[in-house]
Amino acid sequence: MACIPGALPFAFDFDPASTALIVIDMQRDFVEPGGFGASLGNDVTRLQAIIPTVAALIQAARNAGLPVIHTRECHKPDLSDLPPAKRDRGSPSLRIGDPGPMGRILIAGEPGADIIPELAPLPAEIVLDKPGKGAFYATPLADHLARLGVRSLIFAGVTTEVCVQTTMREANDRGFACLLAEDATESYFPAFKAAAVKMIRAQGGIVGWTAFTAEIATALK
Ligand code: TIU
């Protein structure tokens, strides 16, 4: 067993042998100019700041032998998995599926849907394409976690209050103990990140725990 004594709202006890790291949507479409995030009017530079921290967390997980699972929010080229309500949401300057500077926005196989090169998955690591904000919806994530015997999940990625929080809530309802790496996640809106972090660990950890990457890495050594 391992323990992160400084986790909030209280110490996080976990068995590294049944823990996985999930890195949510660290894709060019969210982090680089010209992608989906920018098309929604967001300043993407905020998200770039966490890249070294996410890289350090991934390395700590790999060194400890944890499975590292990467997700990508993207849709099939024929848009058959894209509900019109999602495509038209917010009247973005470029809609999902439209051609942009990094290929078609949020479409599987296009350069924009790729995970950023700094955080490239290793060949043996699981990479899941997901059409929703949550990573359990319409993906084989639950099957992978069952096969791997995973009971605890560590979360990183973007954005905190959208895909990261949605996936944590899905995982929490499925019985996983969920820990968010607070400095390895980011939002386009600082106030939303702060609120999401607080609400996750409020009420005695109603959704899960939070801790910093250095604390997690120490516990994994
Ligand atoms: N817009 C926004 O904050 N996020 C997303 O659309 N997707 C993810 O969070 N990955």
Query: Does 13 participate in catalysis according to the annotation?
Result: no
The reply to whether the predicted model has a pTM over 0.95 is: yes
pLDDT average, residue stretch 214-218: 98
d(CA 4, CA 11): 6
Beta bridge partners of 99: 104
Q: Which of 30, 46, 70, 170 to mutate to test the pocket of ligand 1 (most atoms within 8 A of CB)?
A: 30
Query: Does 74 participate in catalysis according to the annotation?
Result: no
From 74, 163, 183, 193, the catalytic residue: 163
Each residue's pLDDT tens digit, 43-76: 999 999 999 999 999 999 999 999 999 999 999 9
Q: What spacing in Å lies between the alpha carbon of 79 and ligand 1's midpoint? A: 18
202, two tokens: 């409020």
Ramachandran category for residue 180: left, alpha or beta (phi over 0 → left; psi -120 to 50 → alpha): beta
Q: What spacing in Å lies between the alpha carbon of 205 and ligand 1's midpoint? A: 23
Q: What is the per-residue pLDDT for 92?
A: 76
Pocket of ligand 1 (CB under 6 A): 25, 30, 40, 73, 133, 158-159, 162-163, 188
The percentage of the chain sitting over the pLDDT mark of 90, rounded to a whole number, equals: 96
Confidence band (pLDDT; 50, 70, 90) for 171?
A: very high
d(CA 19, CA 15): 6
Q: What is the per-residue pLDDT for 93?
A: 80
Q: For 143-158, give one letter per residue: b (16+ CB within 10 A) or e.
A: eebeeeebebbbbbbb
Q: Which one-letter amino acid corresponds to residue 208?
A: G
Q: What spacing in Å lies between the alpha carbon of 2 and ligand 1's midpoint? A: 32
Each residue's pLDDT tens digit, 82-117: 999 999 887 778 899 999 999 999 999 999 999 999
pLDDT average, residue stretch 172-200: 98
ipTM score: 0.98
